[in-house]
Amino acid sequence: TLILAFETSCDETSVAVVENGTKILSNVVATQIDSHQRFGGVVPEVASRHHIEWITRCVDQALDESGVGYDDIAAVAVTYGPGLVGSLLVGVTAAKVIAWAHHLPLVPVNHMAGHLYAARYVGEFMYPQMALLVSGGHTELVYMPKEHEYEIIGETRDDAAGEAYDKIGRVLGVNYPAGKTIDEWAAKGHDTFKFPRAMEKEANYDFSFSGLKSAFINTVHNADQRGEKLDKYDLAASFQQSVVDVLAEKTMRALDRYPVKQLILAGGVAANHGLRTRLDHDMTKYHPEVGMLQAPLKLCGDNAAMIGAAGYIDYQNGDRGGWDLNAVPSLMFKRMEVE
Protein backbone atom coordinates (compact mmCIF):
# COMPACT_ATOMS: atom_id res chain seq x y z
CA THR A 1 0.00 0.00 0.00
CA LEU A 2 1.57 3.26 -1.16
CA ILE A 3 0.78 6.57 0.54
CA LEU A 4 1.58 9.95 -1.02
CA ALA A 5 2.19 12.19 2.00
CA PHE A 6 2.27 15.98 2.46
CA GLU A 7 3.78 18.06 5.26
CA THR A 8 3.64 21.86 5.26
CA SER A 9 2.79 22.73 8.87
CA CYS A 10 5.68 25.12 9.46
CA ASP A 11 8.74 25.99 7.39
CA GLU A 12 9.49 22.72 5.62
CA THR A 13 7.72 21.86 2.36
CA SER A 14 7.82 18.09 2.17
CA VAL A 15 6.30 15.32 0.04
CA ALA A 16 7.02 11.61 0.38
CA VAL A 17 5.99 8.25 -1.02
CA VAL A 18 5.83 5.59 1.69
CA GLU A 19 5.12 1.85 1.41
CA ASN A 20 3.07 0.17 4.18
CA GLY A 21 4.12 2.86 6.63
CA THR A 22 7.52 1.26 7.00
CA LYS A 23 9.49 1.88 3.84
CA ILE A 24 10.45 5.26 2.39
CA LEU A 25 10.46 5.32 -1.41
CA SER A 26 11.13 9.06 -1.47
CA ASN A 27 11.13 11.93 1.02
CA VAL A 28 11.69 15.37 -0.50
CA VAL A 29 12.21 18.12 2.09
CA ALA A 30 12.58 21.74 0.96
CA THR A 31 13.57 23.82 3.95
CA GLN A 32 13.02 27.57 4.09
CA ILE A 33 15.41 28.22 6.94
CA ASP A 34 17.50 30.69 4.91
CA SER A 35 14.48 32.91 4.29
CA HIS A 36 13.51 33.09 7.96
CA GLN A 37 16.94 33.28 9.59
CA ARG A 38 17.34 37.03 9.24
CA PHE A 39 14.06 37.48 11.13
CA GLY A 40 15.17 35.18 13.94
CA GLY A 41 12.16 32.89 13.53
CA VAL A 42 9.50 31.72 11.12
CA VAL A 43 7.48 34.50 9.48
CA PRO A 44 4.07 32.95 8.68
CA GLU A 45 3.36 34.97 5.51
CA VAL A 46 6.78 34.20 4.10
CA ALA A 47 6.34 30.53 4.96
CA SER A 48 3.03 30.09 3.12
CA ARG A 49 4.37 31.87 0.07
CA HIS A 50 7.32 29.50 -0.08
CA HIS A 51 5.06 26.49 0.31
CA ILE A 52 2.98 27.68 -2.65
CA GLU A 53 6.09 28.14 -4.77
CA TRP A 54 7.60 24.76 -3.96
CA ILE A 55 4.79 22.32 -3.37
CA THR A 56 4.25 21.15 -6.95
CA ARG A 57 7.98 20.75 -7.54
CA CYS A 58 8.20 18.64 -4.38
CA VAL A 59 5.34 16.42 -5.59
CA ASP A 60 6.99 15.92 -8.99
CA GLN A 61 10.33 15.12 -7.41
CA ALA A 62 8.86 12.76 -4.80
CA LEU A 63 7.06 10.76 -7.50
CA ASP A 64 10.10 10.86 -9.74
CA GLU A 65 12.46 9.55 -7.07
CA SER A 66 10.02 6.87 -5.91
CA GLY A 67 9.66 5.51 -9.43
CA VAL A 68 5.90 5.10 -9.03
CA GLY A 69 2.95 6.88 -10.63
CA TYR A 70 -0.44 8.06 -9.42
CA ASP A 71 -1.98 4.72 -10.45
CA ASP A 72 0.13 2.96 -7.81
CA ILE A 73 -0.90 5.30 -4.97
CA ALA A 74 -3.60 4.07 -2.55
CA ALA A 75 -4.23 7.29 -0.63
CA VAL A 76 -3.10 10.86 -0.08
CA ALA A 77 -2.19 11.76 3.51
CA VAL A 78 -1.73 15.32 4.70
CA THR A 79 -0.89 17.19 7.90
CA TYR A 80 -3.98 19.27 8.76
CA GLY A 81 -2.72 20.49 12.18
CA PRO A 82 -1.24 21.64 14.45
CA GLY A 83 0.80 24.37 12.78
CA LEU A 84 0.58 27.72 11.03
CA VAL A 85 -2.79 28.08 9.35
CA GLY A 86 -1.45 29.60 6.13
CA SER A 87 1.22 26.92 5.83
CA LEU A 88 -1.14 24.05 6.62
CA LEU A 89 -3.66 25.27 4.04
CA VAL A 90 -1.15 24.96 1.20
CA GLY A 91 -0.55 21.27 1.97
CA VAL A 92 -4.22 20.53 2.60
CA THR A 93 -5.24 22.22 -0.66
CA ALA A 94 -2.55 20.49 -2.71
CA ALA A 95 -3.45 17.11 -1.21
CA LYS A 96 -7.14 17.66 -1.93
CA VAL A 97 -6.51 18.63 -5.54
CA ILE A 98 -4.39 15.55 -6.17
CA ALA A 99 -6.76 13.21 -4.32
CA TRP A 100 -9.73 14.61 -6.25
CA ALA A 101 -8.05 14.55 -9.65
CA HIS A 102 -6.82 10.97 -9.22
CA HIS A 103 -9.88 9.59 -7.37
CA LEU A 104 -7.90 8.80 -4.23
CA PRO A 105 -9.00 8.83 -0.59
CA LEU A 106 -7.81 11.80 1.47
CA VAL A 107 -6.39 11.03 4.94
CA PRO A 108 -5.99 13.86 7.48
CA VAL A 109 -2.96 13.39 9.75
CA ASN A 110 -2.06 14.99 13.08
CA HIS A 111 1.46 16.46 12.82
CA MET A 112 2.40 15.18 16.30
CA ALA A 113 1.26 11.65 15.44
CA GLY A 114 3.52 12.09 12.42
CA HIS A 115 6.51 12.96 14.61
CA LEU A 116 5.79 9.88 16.70
CA TYR A 117 5.66 7.62 13.65
CA ALA A 118 9.13 8.71 12.51
CA ALA A 119 10.22 6.10 15.06
CA ARG A 120 8.26 3.44 13.17
CA TYR A 121 11.14 3.36 10.66
CA VAL A 122 13.37 2.01 13.43
CA GLY A 123 11.17 -0.88 14.55
CA GLU A 124 7.71 -2.27 15.12
CA PHE A 125 5.43 -0.53 17.63
CA MET A 126 4.21 -2.39 20.70
CA TYR A 127 1.38 -1.36 23.03
CA PRO A 128 0.74 -0.01 25.56
CA GLN A 129 3.29 2.62 24.65
CA MET A 130 4.58 5.93 25.99
CA ALA A 131 6.03 8.71 23.82
CA LEU A 132 8.13 11.69 24.75
CA LEU A 133 7.37 14.19 21.99
CA VAL A 134 9.73 17.16 22.05
CA SER A 135 9.69 19.70 19.26
CA GLY A 136 9.67 23.38 18.40
CA GLY A 137 6.09 23.90 19.55
CA HIS A 138 5.38 20.91 21.80
CA THR A 139 6.76 19.06 24.79
CA GLU A 140 4.47 16.24 25.86
CA LEU A 141 4.25 12.79 27.31
CA VAL A 142 1.70 10.77 25.37
CA TYR A 143 0.29 7.46 26.57
CA MET A 144 -1.02 5.06 23.95
CA PRO A 145 -3.08 2.16 25.32
CA LYS A 146 -3.33 0.84 21.77
CA GLU A 147 -2.64 1.82 18.18
CA HIS A 148 -4.30 5.05 17.05
CA GLU A 149 -5.22 6.14 20.60
CA TYR A 150 -3.34 9.08 22.08
CA GLU A 151 -3.69 10.50 25.58
CA ILE A 152 -1.59 13.40 26.84
CA ILE A 153 -0.59 12.77 30.46
CA GLY A 154 1.75 15.75 30.74
CA GLU A 155 2.88 18.73 28.70
CA THR A 156 4.67 22.05 28.94
CA ARG A 157 2.83 24.86 30.67
CA ASP A 158 4.76 27.55 28.81
CA ASP A 159 7.61 27.23 26.30
CA ALA A 160 8.31 24.06 24.34
CA ALA A 161 11.81 22.61 24.73
CA GLY A 162 12.79 23.48 21.14
CA GLU A 163 11.42 26.98 21.54
CA ALA A 164 13.61 27.44 24.65
CA TYR A 165 16.66 26.26 22.67
CA ASP A 166 15.89 28.74 19.91
CA LYS A 167 15.37 31.63 22.35
CA ILE A 168 18.53 31.11 24.38
CA GLY A 169 20.42 30.48 21.13
CA ARG A 170 19.39 33.91 19.94
CA VAL A 171 20.96 35.46 23.09
CA LEU A 172 24.22 33.72 22.20
CA GLY A 173 24.01 34.94 18.61
CA VAL A 174 23.14 31.55 17.13
CA ASN A 175 20.96 31.55 14.01
CA TYR A 176 17.45 30.10 14.12
CA PRO A 177 16.89 27.18 14.66
CA ALA A 178 19.55 27.05 17.35
CA GLY A 179 19.02 23.56 18.81
CA LYS A 180 21.65 21.72 16.78
CA THR A 181 24.42 24.26 17.46
CA ILE A 182 23.64 24.52 21.18
CA ASP A 183 23.71 20.71 21.32
CA GLU A 184 27.19 20.72 19.73
CA TRP A 185 28.45 23.44 22.07
CA ALA A 186 27.03 21.58 25.07
CA ALA A 187 29.27 18.61 24.28
CA LYS A 188 32.30 20.90 24.73
CA GLY A 189 31.28 22.40 28.08
CA HIS A 190 30.29 21.58 31.64
CA ASP A 191 27.25 22.24 33.82
CA THR A 192 28.90 25.03 35.82
CA PHE A 193 25.89 27.35 36.08
CA LYS A 194 23.38 24.95 37.67
CA PHE A 195 20.27 26.56 36.17
CA PRO A 196 16.87 25.73 37.72
CA ARG A 197 15.16 22.42 36.95
CA ALA A 198 11.52 23.50 36.96
CA MET A 199 8.87 21.12 38.28
CA GLU A 200 11.40 18.33 38.44
CA LYS A 201 10.15 17.08 41.80
CA GLU A 202 6.47 17.89 41.34
CA ALA A 203 4.09 14.94 41.31
CA ASN A 204 2.83 15.39 37.76
CA TYR A 205 4.11 14.90 34.24
CA ASP A 206 4.07 18.55 33.18
CA PHE A 207 7.03 20.67 32.14
CA SER A 208 8.02 24.32 32.26
CA PHE A 209 10.95 25.91 30.46
CA SER A 210 10.30 29.64 30.65
CA GLY A 211 11.95 29.97 34.10
CA LEU A 212 15.07 28.26 32.81
CA LYS A 213 15.05 30.52 29.76
CA SER A 214 14.78 33.64 31.98
CA ALA A 215 17.51 32.44 34.33
CA PHE A 216 19.76 31.85 31.34
CA ILE A 217 19.06 35.24 29.77
CA ASN A 218 19.56 37.06 33.09
CA THR A 219 22.88 35.32 33.67
CA VAL A 220 24.14 36.38 30.25
CA HIS A 221 22.85 39.97 30.55
CA ASN A 222 24.24 40.46 34.05
CA ALA A 223 27.65 39.26 32.90
CA ASP A 224 27.43 41.62 29.90
CA GLN A 225 26.78 44.55 32.21
CA ARG A 226 29.81 43.68 34.29
CA GLY A 227 31.75 43.52 31.06
CA GLU A 228 32.35 39.85 31.68
CA LYS A 229 32.31 37.23 28.93
CA LEU A 230 30.93 33.83 29.94
CA ASP A 231 32.05 30.60 28.32
CA LYS A 232 29.47 29.76 25.65
CA TYR A 233 30.21 26.06 25.86
CA ASP A 234 29.55 25.99 29.60
CA LEU A 235 26.40 28.05 29.12
CA ALA A 236 25.14 25.62 26.50
CA ALA A 237 26.10 22.58 28.59
CA SER A 238 24.37 24.00 31.67
CA PHE A 239 21.20 24.83 29.76
CA GLN A 240 21.10 21.44 28.09
CA GLN A 241 21.76 19.56 31.33
CA SER A 242 18.81 21.31 32.92
CA VAL A 243 16.49 20.47 29.99
CA VAL A 244 17.66 16.87 29.75
CA ASP A 245 17.42 16.30 33.53
CA VAL A 246 13.78 17.37 33.62
CA LEU A 247 12.78 15.51 30.45
CA ALA A 248 14.46 12.28 31.55
CA GLU A 249 13.26 12.37 35.16
CA LYS A 250 9.64 13.04 34.26
CA THR A 251 9.73 10.35 31.60
CA MET A 252 11.10 7.79 34.07
CA ARG A 253 8.38 8.73 36.54
CA ALA A 254 5.71 8.38 33.86
CA LEU A 255 7.00 4.86 33.17
CA ASP A 256 6.80 4.03 36.90
CA ARG A 257 3.12 5.00 36.88
CA TYR A 258 2.18 3.61 33.44
CA PRO A 259 3.57 0.18 32.69
CA VAL A 260 4.26 0.08 28.95
CA LYS A 261 6.06 -2.15 26.50
CA GLN A 262 7.83 0.64 24.67
CA LEU A 263 9.07 4.22 24.96
CA ILE A 264 9.20 6.37 21.82
CA LEU A 265 11.39 9.47 21.55
CA ALA A 266 10.45 11.77 18.68
CA GLY A 267 10.16 15.39 17.49
CA GLY A 268 12.78 17.93 16.42
CA VAL A 269 14.48 18.00 19.84
CA ALA A 270 14.73 14.17 19.78
CA ALA A 271 17.78 14.84 17.58
CA ASN A 272 19.54 16.11 20.72
CA HIS A 273 22.56 13.97 21.51
CA GLY A 274 22.49 14.72 25.23
CA LEU A 275 18.87 13.61 25.46
CA ARG A 276 19.34 10.45 23.37
CA THR A 277 22.34 9.34 25.43
CA ARG A 278 20.67 10.13 28.73
CA LEU A 279 17.52 8.17 27.86
CA ASP A 280 19.62 5.21 26.70
CA HIS A 281 21.34 5.25 30.07
CA ASP A 282 18.24 5.83 32.22
CA MET A 283 16.15 3.21 30.43
CA THR A 284 18.82 0.56 30.95
CA LYS A 285 19.12 1.52 34.60
CA TYR A 286 15.50 2.18 35.65
CA HIS A 287 13.28 0.47 33.06
CA PRO A 288 15.20 -2.37 31.44
CA GLU A 289 11.84 -4.14 30.86
CA VAL A 290 10.71 -1.38 28.48
CA GLY A 291 11.98 -1.23 24.89
CA MET A 292 12.87 2.10 23.35
CA LEU A 293 12.70 3.45 19.81
CA GLN A 294 14.34 6.79 19.08
CA ALA A 295 13.30 8.46 15.84
CA PRO A 296 16.15 8.37 13.30
CA LEU A 297 18.21 11.60 13.40
CA LYS A 298 17.25 12.44 9.82
CA LEU A 299 13.53 12.08 10.54
CA CYS A 300 13.36 14.07 13.80
CA GLY A 301 12.65 17.38 12.07
CA ASP A 302 9.55 17.97 9.96
CA ASN A 303 9.25 15.67 6.95
CA ALA A 304 6.52 13.94 4.96
CA ALA A 305 7.87 10.39 5.44
CA MET A 306 6.69 10.50 9.06
CA ILE A 307 3.28 11.71 7.87
CA GLY A 308 3.19 8.79 5.42
CA ALA A 309 3.88 6.33 8.27
CA ALA A 310 1.19 7.81 10.54
CA GLY A 311 -1.10 8.27 7.53
CA TYR A 312 -0.87 4.58 6.67
CA ILE A 313 -2.23 3.70 10.14
CA ASP A 314 -4.94 6.35 9.86
CA TYR A 315 -5.84 5.09 6.39
CA GLN A 316 -6.18 1.51 7.62
CA ASN A 317 -8.24 2.80 10.52
CA GLY A 318 -10.69 4.34 8.06
CA ASP A 319 -9.92 8.00 8.74
CA ARG A 320 -11.03 10.08 5.76
CA GLY A 321 -11.11 13.78 5.01
CA GLY A 322 -13.89 15.26 2.91
CA TRP A 323 -13.40 17.92 0.23
CA ASP A 324 -14.27 20.38 2.99
CA LEU A 325 -11.26 19.32 5.10
CA ASN A 326 -9.85 22.41 6.78
CA ALA A 327 -6.58 23.21 8.54
CA VAL A 328 -6.82 22.97 12.34
CA PRO A 329 -3.92 25.10 13.69
CA SER A 330 -4.52 24.12 17.34
CA LEU A 331 -5.23 20.42 16.79
CA MET A 332 -4.38 18.46 19.98
CA PHE A 333 -4.45 14.97 21.39
CA LYS A 334 -6.91 14.71 24.27
CA ARG A 335 -5.57 15.49 27.72
CA MET A 336 -6.09 12.83 30.41
CA GLU A 337 -6.49 13.66 34.07
CA VAL A 338 -3.73 11.94 36.00
CA GLU A 339 -3.45 11.56 39.74
Residues making up the annotated binding site are: 111, 115, 133-137, 166, 179, 183, 272, 302
Q: Which is nearer to Fe ion, 134 or 263 (CB)?
A: 134
Task: Give the contacts of 297 (CB within 8 A, at least 6 positions apart).
Answer: 271
Say which entry of Mg ion, ligand ATP, Fe ion, none residue 83 contacts (CB below 5 to 8 A, set by partner kind). ligand ATP
- Binding residue for ligand ATP, selected from 157, 170, 180, 197, defined by CB under 6 A: 180
- Binding residue for ligand ATP, selected from 5, 98, 178, 263, defined by CB under 6 A: 178
- Binding residue for Mg ion, selected from 3, 5, 10, 133, defined by CB under 5 A: 10
Site residues (CB under 5 A) for Fe ion? 135, 302
- Amino acid sitting at position 51: H
**Chain-centre distance of CA 220, in angstroms?**
28
* Residue 77 within binding range of ligand ATP, rule CB under 6 A: no
3-state secondary structure of 34: helix
Closest C-alpha to 335, from 205, 201, 162:
205
Q: Which is nearer to ligand ATP, 21 or 267 (CB)?
A: 267
Task: Give the contacts of 337 (CB within 8 A, at least 6 positions apart).
Answer: none
Cβ-in-10-Å burial (0-12, 13-18, 19+) of 249 comes to middle
Say which entry of Mg ion, Fe ion, ligand ATP, none residue 269 contacts (CB below 5 to 8 A, set by partner kind). ligand ATP
> For strand 262-266 and strand 291-294, is the pairing parallel, antiparallel, or unpaired?
parallel
Site residues for ligand ATP, window 78-107 (CB under 6 A)? Answer: 82-83
Site residues for Mg ion, window 271-330 (CB under 5 A)? Answer: 302
State how far the Cα of 64 lies from the Cα of 4, in Å rounded to an integer.
12
Query: How many CB atoms within 10 Å of residue 123?
Result: 13
Task: Give the contacts of 278 (CB within 8 A, at least 6 positions apart).
Answer: 244, 248
* Residue 302 within binding range of ligand ATP, rule CB under 6 A: yes
Cβ-closest position to ligand ATP: 268
Least Cβ distance, residue 302 to Fe ion (angstroms): 4
Which parts of this chain interact with ligand ATP (CB under 6 A)?
Answer: 9-10, 82-83, 111, 115, 135-138, 162, 165-166, 177-180, 183, 267-269, 271-272, 301-302
